[in-house]
Amino acid sequence: MRDKPVIATRREFEIPDQSVRSHAEQISDAVDLLYEDLGNRHCVVVAVQLLGAFAIEIFLKCLSSETISHEVPELLDPDARQLTSRPTKFGHDLRKQFDHLDDRIRNGLEAAYAAKPCIPGVPALRDAIDRYRNLFEEIRYIFEKKDFEGQSITHLVKLVQFLREQVSLMPTISHWE
């Protein structure tokens, strides 16, 4: 009986990662739905903030995720592979996620934002993102905070919409390692 050859796990970088992008778009859709109903249901304010921060995080991660190709030994086909995605930068700090992006992607986003800022008085995307830098972690446990310095929900939603639009306009670039 011959030994089965070992196939190394391969890493693919597809920017933007379409699986992660789809996840971010679904969260963005939820943000839009909740935001549209904010006037009728003030109880969704925390949910809009939580999901808004999370959508930004996932849009940024779709721009720096890797696709992992795994062997599937339980299948009889030796060429069968399972693909998963994972970020190359972990954590919820939005500024760190933004700073981790490839320079060309980050500079392109900055240029698009500078041409049409979605937050008045904030001319740089990095500064806009920095306003919500730790919101995902802070808002989850807001009930523990004595002082919570919130930011504009409207600007948060506009920032989510800006990132969604920019990511949708990007061509997909792929390479394997």
Strands across the sheet with 81-87, in order? 81-87, 65-71, 10-15, 173-176
What are 72-128's pLDDT values in tens digits? Answer: 777 767 778 888 888 889 999 999 999 999 999 999 999 999 999 999 999 999 999
Taking residues 47-72, report their average pLDDT. 92
Residue 121 φ/ψ region, left for φ over 0, alpha for ψ in the -120 to 50 degree band, beta for the rest = left
Coil vs helix vs strand at 110: helix
What are 83-95's pLDDT values in tens digits? Answer: 888 888 999 999 9
